[in-house]
C-alpha cells in the first residue's frame, strides 16, 4: 500500500470524524490564548478568540455539530471547569436565533458560571454573554406550615445575611378603619421598606372587609428587627395566613460568592423547604 493511498485514507477519516483535523489543530493552538483572557474584565477578547475558533470549523458540519465542537474545545481548555449547552437554538428576534452555552471557570479562586450567547449565523459567533445568576443569592421557599417565628430560627442558624423575606400574608382582627393606621405604623420601621419604593402593603377584603397585610421584611438577620416584628404582630393583631397550599415565605439568603450551588443543595435537604433556586438572570444580549 503506497503512501499516496494512505494519505487519501487519512484525509477521509478526518472528514468523517466529528471534529476535523483542522479543528483539532485549532483546539491545541487557541486554548492558551483563550485562557490568557478568560476573566470578567476581558470578555471581549475572550469572545474574539472563541469566534476565531468558530470561524475555523469545517463548513460540512451542521449547527448542532458546531455547538458540540465548541463545547469540546472549551472543555479542552485547562482554565475551563465545565462547558455545556443549556439551550438549543431558539428564536430571539425575527430572523435571528440563538443558543446558549454555559462555561464554568475559576477567577481569583471563585468558581463563576457564564452564559455565552451563540448567534446561529454562518459561521456561528458569540454575540454576547451574561451571568447565569446573581452572585451570592440563594432563594429558599418554605412550606405552608412553617411560621414566621420558625423562619427567624432557621435564618439565625446560619451566618448568612438575609436580604429580604417576601410573600408573608397576615390578617388583622382590628376594625377595618385601622388599615391605613397599621400600614403607616409598619412602614416607619427600618425593616419594612428598602428605601427605593418597596413597602409593606395591604387592602380590605371586598366581602369580609377584613384587613390583609403583605409585608416585605428586609435585613432580617437582625434579631432586634425580628423581635420588633413579632411584637408588631401582637400590637396590630396580625395573624399569619398560611391556609393555601403554596403559602409560605420566600427567603433571599446571601452566601459567599462561589458557594451558591453548594448551599442550594444544602437547603434542599430540609423537610420544611418547598423549593430552592439561584437568582437566575433573564436572557439578555450585549451588543
Residue 28 — very low, low, confident or very high, per pLDDT cuts 50/70/90? Answer: very low
Ranges of each domain in the chain: 3-131, 136-280
Q: What is the pLDDT of residues 7-17, one digit of tens each?
A: 433 433 333 33
> How far apart (Å, rounded) are the C-alpha atoms in residues 98 and 111?
25
Q: Give Cα separations from 71 to 92, 99, 145, 261 (angstroms).
A: 21, 12, 45, 22
Q: What is the pLDDT of residues 208-240, one digit of tens each?
A: 999 999 999 999 999 999 999 999 999 999 999
Average pLDDT rounded to a whole number, residues 233-252 = 95
Residue 181 — very low, low, confident or very high, per pLDDT cuts 50/70/90? Answer: very high
Q: What is the pLDDT of residues 88-129, one digit of tens each?
A: 776 565 556 889 999 998 888 888 888 999 999 999 999 988
For the ranges 79-83, 188-192, 224-228, the maximum mean pLDDT occurs at: 224-228
For the cut 90, the answer to whether the pLDDT of residue 285 exceeds it is no
Amino acid at each position: 500500500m503506497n503512501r499516496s493511498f494512505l494519505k487519501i485514507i487519512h484525509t477521509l477519516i478526518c472528514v468523517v470524524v466529528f471534529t476535523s483535523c483542522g479543528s483539532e489543530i485549532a483546539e491545541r493552538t487557541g486554548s492558551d490564548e483563550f485562557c490568557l483572557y478568560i476573566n470578567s474584565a476581558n470578555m471581549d477578547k475572550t469572545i474574539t478568540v472563541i469566534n476565531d475558533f468558530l470561524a475555523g470549523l469545517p463548513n460540512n458540519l451542521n449547527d448542532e455539530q458546531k455547538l458540540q465542537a465548541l463545547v469540546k474545545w472549551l472543555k479542552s481548555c485547562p482554565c475551563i471547569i465545565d462547558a455545556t449547552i443549556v439551550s438549543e437554538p431558539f428564536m430571539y428576534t425575527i430572523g435571528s436565533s440563538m443558543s446558549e452555552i454555559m462555561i464554568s471557570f475559576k477567577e481569583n479562586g471563585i468558581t463563576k458560571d457564564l452564559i455565552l450567547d451563540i448567534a446561529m449565523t454562518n459561521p456561528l459567533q458569540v454575540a454576547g454573554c451574561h451571568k447565569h445568576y446573581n452572585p451570592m443569592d440563594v432563594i429558599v421557599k418554605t412550606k405552608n406550615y412553617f411560621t414566621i417565628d420558625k423562619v427567624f430560627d432557621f435564618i439565625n442558624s446560619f451566618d448568612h445575611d438575609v436580604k429580604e423575606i417576601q410573600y408573608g400574608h397576615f390578617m388583622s382582627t382590628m376594625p377595618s378603619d385601622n388599615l391605613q393606621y397599621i400600614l403607616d405604623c409598619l412602614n416607619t420601621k427600618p425593616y419594612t421598606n428598602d428605601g427605593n419604593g418597596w413597602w409593606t402593603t395591604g387592602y380590605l377584603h371586598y366581602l369580609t372587609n377584613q384587613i390583609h397585610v403583605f409585608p416585605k421584611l428586609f435585613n432580617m438577620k437582625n434579631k432586634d428587627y425580628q423581635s420588633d416584628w413579632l411584637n408588631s404582630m401582637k400590637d396590630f393583631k396580625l395573624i399569619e395566613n398560611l391556609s393555601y397550599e403554596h403559602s409560605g415565605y420566600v427567603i433571599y439568603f446571601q452566601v459567599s460568592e462561589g458557594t451558591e450551588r453548594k448551599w442550594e443543595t444544602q437547603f434542599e435537604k430540609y423537610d420544611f423547604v418547598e423549593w430552592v433556586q439561584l437568582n437566575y438572570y433573564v436572557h439578555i444580549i450585549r451588543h
